[in-house]
Amino acid sequence: MVSLALRHLRYCQTQLAHTTRRLVLRHSKPTPPPLTTRNTTVGGAITAVGYKAGYATAGGSVDAFGYSALAANTTGANNVSFGFESMLANLTGSNNTAMGVSALAANTTASNNTAVGYQAGYSNQTGINNVFIGDRTGYSTTSNNNTFVGEFAGNATTGANNSFYGYASGYLVTSGAKNTILGAYNGNQGGLDIRTSSNNIVLSDGDGNPQIWYNAGVGGFFYVPAVYNKTSAGGANVVVNSDGGMVRSTSALKYKQDVRDLEELDISAFRPVRYKSKCEGDDQTKDYIGLIADEAAEAGFEELVTRGADGEVEGFQYERLTVVLLKKLQTLDAEFKAYVASHP
């Protein structure tokens, strides 16, 4: 009986040892391999963190962080992509930086772009040398050399060579090119619509109302809308020089030298005319009255005409004509007084 009990005890001990070994093996975890930076066969360095990040890359140096970041990249080099599906479709585009969810998501072959923000530069495929900073800036952009800074700036823009700075700056501009906007002006606000226009410079306030506007494409007009709303009983005192500079007109003695009395001029040399204007800023269907500056120059009245940088006659200084007429009136007044004195 004792022998049988001992055998049974040894059997139980053996079964317990086997069971314990199986439990240990079942719950143990293998030691994971160390994280490494993968080098391609052509010597490029690839750092990829995230599902399918840098998945198809076959050459060049790239840094991809996030789900499917640079997933389709093949030979595009020197790209940095941070964010969910950032630069998702890129194939061969190089020297790009995308930071944000879906930043530069559609980029395929374009190079030298920088996009920072949610869906910044989202639709760009082949446009180069662009900078998009802000939530959905340059979302629809497909062209080159644009700089958009501010949430929604240039959101619908497809034109090239634009620079928009500010919240929603240029938001509604579509095909317009070579425009510069500073402030929240969206491209169609405050009575100014440049959505498809080019070569504009707009300075706006925080609400997007344009305060200063210059357009080089329609004769180089410079607009300051607020000036029209400020009135004065004083005479005009601003002059635009031939180089485009705006200066204040003065008449105090401290600004004059070599002062002499004016001789009497022959006012019969001036020909008053009625005419229609050719100027872009004028109503070309209505009549205007004035003098011909060319005729005044031919008569020797250089003091009364203005010339451009090329020396061509440009205008007549009507405000100075009052001095000529005053001199004539003084002469006539003196003659009349002399006549009255001699005919009591």
Cα separation of 64 and 81, whole Å?
5
pLDDT at 243: 67
β-pair partners for 316:
305
Residue with tokens 């340059």: 138
Beta bridge partners of 181: 164, 202
First to last CA, the chain: 176
pLDDT score recorded for residue 157: 97
pLDDT for 10: 64
Q: What is the pLDDT along the chain (344 residues), one digit of tens a residue?
A: 545 555 655 665 666 555 555 544 444 445 544 443 343 333 468 899 999 999 999 878 899 999 999 999 999 999 999 999 999 999 999 999 999 999 999 999 999 999 999 999 999 999 999 999 999 999 999 999 999 999 999 999 999 999 999 999 999 999 999 999 999 999 999 989 999 999 999 999 989 999 999 888 666 777 877 776 666 666 667 777 776 666 777 888 998 999 999 998 899 889 999 999 998 778 899 999 999 999 999 999 999 998 988 999 999 999 889 999 999 999 999 999 999 999 88
Task: Determine the 3-state secondary structure of 39 from DSSP.
Answer: strand
Please give the pLDDT value at position 179. Answer: 97
Q: If residue 247 lies in a helix (H) or strand (E), which one and from where to where?
A: strand 246-248
- The pLDDT of residue 240: 73
- Report which DSSP code applies to 92: S
C-alpha separations of 26 from 21, 23, 31, 32 in Å: 9, 5, 14, 17
Task: Using the structure block, give the residue that is written with the tokens 């003065």.
Answer: 250
Using a cut of 0.75, tell me whether the model's pTM lies above it.
no
What letters, b where the CB count within 10 A reaches 16 and e where it falls short, cover 260-270? eeeeebeeeeb
pLDDT of residue 286: 94
**pLDDT score at 216:** 80
pLDDT of amino acid 280: 75
CA angle 299, 301, 306 (to 5 degrees): 120
Pairing of strands 221-223, 313-316: unpaired
Residue with the two structure tokens 């001992």? 6
Q: Would you kindly state where each structural domain of the chain is located, as residue ranges?
A: 259-330
Distance CA 114, CA 96 (A): 6
